[in-house]
Amino acid sequence: MKNKMTVLNLLLPQWNPLQVFPVLPMFKGYFTHHGLEVKTLDANVRFYHWLLSKDFLKILENHVSHTMMTNAVTRLQCEAAEHIQTVISEPEQTFDPIFNLRKQEVFEDERQRNHALEIWENYLTSVSIFFPPMHLSYRGLKFELPKNPEAIRNYCQNEEENLFRLYYTHVLFDQVQNLKPDFITLSIISNEQLLPSLIFCHLIKRLLPDIHLCVGAPLLVEYLKLGHGFEQLLPDELDSLVIGHHFEPFLALIQALEQGKPVPEHPYLLRNIKQEQHKVMEWKPILPESGYPKDYSDINLSDYFHFSPLGTVNSHMS
């Protein structure tokens, strides 16, 4: 008997919060076309909204205060702490120009747009100084990735100075739990997403122990090919790994799970990295020959930090 599953496709930080990540509507469109129940959640853009919230400022104030009291303080930390205190005192002076990027007259005016982006970048830089080794950016594409597996594992397990872990426990996990997924999939396509994704994988099964967790990880393949113990990074909580740029392995996997069948054999689908190392070594970055249909029904364009004639400028997300 077929057991209908709810599939949740996640985009985790950090990525550019100005535009919709194209894989999200493509994933939903493809699987909806095949009769599956799919929900998409852009946790990346929500992460940037959280950074621009009063809730986060309370967490940030406590963290900065603790850091300044318990560690040797650098000049950069002093300057960043002073800037952050200014933001805490008058958050609208920083947050309003950033949210106004969603207004046509602001986004299309180069001077106003650049001014807002500069305010945003300066704020994110100050925050980043207290949460090394990452460097937050509205471009979403800055990260000093640790060069060995042990350093990466240590970062993932750090509870106090791990900004992504704070975001997951304070915000994201409640949102995920409310969607009641049976199957969660996320993609790791850039260095900037590697640590946030590994942290999520380590923690999510504590909240939802029965979900099937599948990661699409073309980027991770390159690390696995290098050796150096990077296969140790794969969390024990991970149920399956897709190493290609195609959606077909996900579809075959979900259909098998719905029908109560074993995980199928597929050249881009890994069930055991140690036993299927040959798939990693044979992998080549081949893109699909044809495109996928797109479904934007789960996406609110007004969440993104740019003007869109299809979206409306709503109040700030809480």
Domain range for 57 is 1-318
Average pLDDT over residues 238-266: 85
As beta bridge partners, residue 240 has 214
Name the range with the highest mean pLDDT among 27-31, 171-175, 281-285: 171-175
As beta bridge partners, residue 184 has 8, 213
Sequence-separated (6 or more) residues with CB below 8 Å from residue 96: none
Torsion of CA 253, 288, 186, 181, to 10 degrees: -50
Q: Which of 119, 202, 114 is nearest to 157 (CA)?
A: 202
Quick one: pLDDT at residue 216? Answer: 83
Q: Which of 244, 238, 237, 242 is nearest to 253 (CA)?
A: 242
When pLDDT is cut at 50, 70 and 90, the band that residue 287 belongs to is low
Name the range with the highest mean pLDDT among 105-109, 202-206, 214-218: 105-109
Element spanning 192, H or E: helix 191-207
Beta-sheet strand order (sheet of 269-270): 37-42, 6-11, 183-187, 212-216, 240-242, 269-270
Half-sphere exposure of 93 (CA within 13 A, CB side): 10
Mean model confidence pLDDT for the chain: 83
Higher-pLDDT residue of 128 and 2 is 128
Q: Which of 37, 43, 238 is nearest to 217 (CA)?
A: 238
When pLDDT is cut at 50, 70 and 90, the band that residue 134 belongs to is confident
The full DSSP string for 68-127 is HHHSPPPHHHHHHHHHHHHHHHSHHHHHHHHHGGGSHHHHT-HHHHHHHHHHHHHHHHHH
Q: How far apart are CA 86 and CA 22, in angstroms?
A: 36
Say if CB 214 and CB 239 are below 8 A apart.
Answer: yes
214 secondary structure, DSSP code: E
Query: Does the pLDDT value for residue 197 go beyond 70?
Result: yes
Higher-pLDDT residue of 84 and 285 is 84
Quick one: pLDDT at residue 314? Answer: 42
Average pLDDT over residues 11-27: 89
Say how far residue 201 (Cα) sits from the centre of its chain. 11
Element spanning 187, H or E: strand 183-187
Quick one: pLDDT at residue 227? Answer: 56
When pLDDT is cut at 50, 70 and 90, the band that residue 111 belongs to is very high
- What is the CA angle 56-125-215, rounded to 5? 70
286 secondary structure, DSSP code: P
Sign of the Cα pseudo-torsion (129, 135, 136, 138, in order)? positive
Q: What is each CA distance from 34 to 38, 39, 97, in whole angstroms?
A: 10, 14, 42
Reply yes or no: is the peptide bond before residue 14 cis, omega within 30 of 0: yes
Average pLDDT over residues 165-189: 93
Split into its structural domains, the chain has a count of: 1
Query: Does the pLDDT value for residue 317 go beyond 60?
Result: no
